[in-house]
Every structure is written in structure tokens, then in C-alpha cells.
Amino acid sequence: MSEGHDEILEELVGLAADGLDELAAVDDLGDLGAAASRFLGKHSRLSQLKAGLRDVAAEHRATVGEALNLARTQIESAVEDRRAELGEVATRTRLDAERLDLTEELGRDRHGHLHVITQTWEQLEDVFVGMGFTVADGPEVETDWFNFEALNLPPSHPARSLWDTLYLDPDGLAGVGEEQLLLRTHTSPVQIRTMLDAVRTGGGPPIHVVCPGRVYRRDTADATHLPVFHQIEMLVVDRDVSMADLAGTIEAFTKAYFGGDLTSRLRPSYFPFTEPSAEVDISQPDGSWLEVGGCGMVHPNVLRACGLDPEEWSGFAFGFGIDRLAKIRHGVEDLRDFVTNDIRFLEQL
């Protein structure tokens, strides 16, 4: 060996010191592998010096060999320490990235609910079903006969002007024939359908039904009118029923739907399909009265149109505005709020 053993020992000390410095500066596991092979690999200076050991004078060989081993173990353990440190950093970084913040507020799922008119409709059905009524329905496109004529409103009847009717042009509608079609202006035609069905199926009265549904008028929307709105019709046909039964039924309904504090009253009025007829008012918490619909004893001509003998059967009926009932119950100022779909309004009901 050309170098003296002193120089080798000195170089080994420097080599180990350089190695430790460099390894301390490495901050990536890939770079660490490269540095390790540079200092410890087959072509490293350390390996060269080890290969040169046989040229060292015999009396110094053990000292140099020991120094070689020392340098190697120092570097090796520095590599292992650094590997452990870098591994720990990597694990911590990964865990930090994956950490779940269980206190984080993600906001609630937003659930919709039924529209307030649908809720009211269903509650009304429930109240009447609880009073022993069944629920019936009929079409929104009606014929003139069901909507008017059978209800004691012949074609020239002046009371027809009470209903601003939307008529349909039947041209081109297959199977419609000559019948005048319209969008029903009230749920009263379901009375006719119910009585005819009862007669046709042979069962006949007694009849106790409610008929909720959508109705149409040629009206401009304002705070108290909508061109499309909802009514619930009630019809009882039996032997010897009276106006007192009607008033009692309406009062029982008022208490069941609004609670014990509110009450109802009847005011004489006129409807072609009832005689006598009345308007129904419901008391307000502030002491005023709000009109919710009409009622009366079913007119003999209406019973006759359905094939029922007015000497044998009598009936009473009413028709209430569902939207109006919802308006009262929820203190809504303007009926149009029900249909303008402002989520801030709908969410509250």
C-alpha cells in the first residue's frame, strides 16, 4: 500500500465525519439510499480502503482494520438512525393528511317536507275520516252537466256568473262528442258522481263522503284569490237529516281541526244546489270572522238528478276552501305566498 497507516487512519476519521454530516443533511428516503451506497457500497472509498488492507504493514493491520470497522459501523448506524427519523416524519405527514376532524361542522342534510296545502289537505281528510266519512274524488276536467246542470244550474241560470269558468275546446279530443268540457269550478260535481255511483251500484244512501280536490276559476291572483285553488266538499245523504245536523257537523269539524278555541257560525246565503243555503264563517283569535265556504241542505232537484227521491232522502253539504283554511291556521297574509315557491316562506310551514 502506497499510503502510510497514519494517513489511512486520518482519512477514515474524515470519511466518517463527512459521512455523518452528509447523512444528517439528507431529508428524503431515496436520497438516503443513494448516500448510503456512496459511503458503504462496493465502489465506495471505504470498500477501496478495506481492499487495500492487505497492503498495510502487518503490525498495523489490526489497528487499521479496527478503524475501518469503526468508520463503517458509525456510518451504518447513522444511516439507520436517519432512516428511522425520515420514516417517522413520513408517517406523521401521512397521518396528518388523513386525520379526521371529528369536531368539524359539515352542516345537516336538508330534508324537504310536504307543501303546506298538501299537509292541510291530508289533515282535513284525517279529521273527516275520524268522524266516519270516506274520501271520494272526481276529475278536474268536467262536463257542463256535472259541474252545473245536475247541481240545479241549467244553461241559462243567472247564478252561473258566480263562477268564472274556464271552458275547454273539445275539437280534436277523441271521444268527447258534443259535451261542453270545462275545468271544474268547484268540488261539488263530486257530490253528483258519488250519488250516481251509490244509486248505480244499488247500495244507495246513506252517504257520508268528503271530496278534496283542485279547482279552477278565471280569476286574477290577488291576496285572497287564486285561479287554481283547492276545496274540500262534504256530503251526507240519509233519511231525515236536518240543518241542525249540518251546523253540528261543521262545529265538530271546526273544533277538531282548529282546536277548542275557535267556533263556527252560519249566515244565510244563496247557492242553487242547496235550499236553505248558508255561508260558513270561522271565528278568528282576534274576534273577527273569516268566511271559509258555503253549505246547505241538498236541493230536491239535485237529489232528483241523481235518481234519489227527495221525499225519501235528504242531505246536507258544504264546500270549504282548503287554501283559506291553511291561511287562517298559519296566519298567512297573502294566498299567493302558497304558490310563488319562496323557500324562506315554505320552510316555515
254 part of the interface to ligand DAH, by CB under 6 A: no
Spatial separation of the C-alpha atoms in residues 117 and 230, rounded to whole Å = 8
Instruction: Name the segment binding ligand DAH (CB under 6 A); options: 57-65, 104-112, 222-230, 287-295.
Output: 287-295
Q: Which of 164, 202, 166 is nearest to 307 (CA)?
A: 202
Q: Which of 274, 303, 314, 328 binds ligand DAH (CB under 6 A)?
A: 274
Identity of the residue, 128 or 271, whose beta carbon is nearer to ligand DAH in the bound complex:
271
Ranges within 224-253 binding ligand DAH (CB under 6 A):
233
Work out how close the CB of 320 gets to ligand DAH at its nearest, in angstroms, rounded to a whole number.
8
Can you tell me which of 296, 303, 323, 332 binds ligand DAH, judged by CB under 6 A?
Answer: 296
Closest Cα to residue 191, out of 209, 214, 216, 213? 209
Question: Segment 168-197, which members bind ligand DAH (CB under 6 A)?
Answer: 186, 188
Q: Mark the segment that binds ligand DAH (CB under 6 A) among 41-49, 102-110, 256-264, 315-323.
A: 315-323
Q: Which is nearer to ligand DAH, 78 or 298 (CB)?
A: 298
Given 294, 302, 322, 338, the residue binding ligand DAH (CB under 6 A): 294
- If one asks whether residue 142 binds ligand DAH (CB under 6 A), the answer comes out as no
Comparing CB distances to ligand DAH, the nearer of 229 and 257 is: 229
CB of 269 to ligand DAH, least distance (A): 8
Rule CB under 6 A: which residues touch ligand DAH? 186, 188, 233, 271, 274, 293-296, 317-319
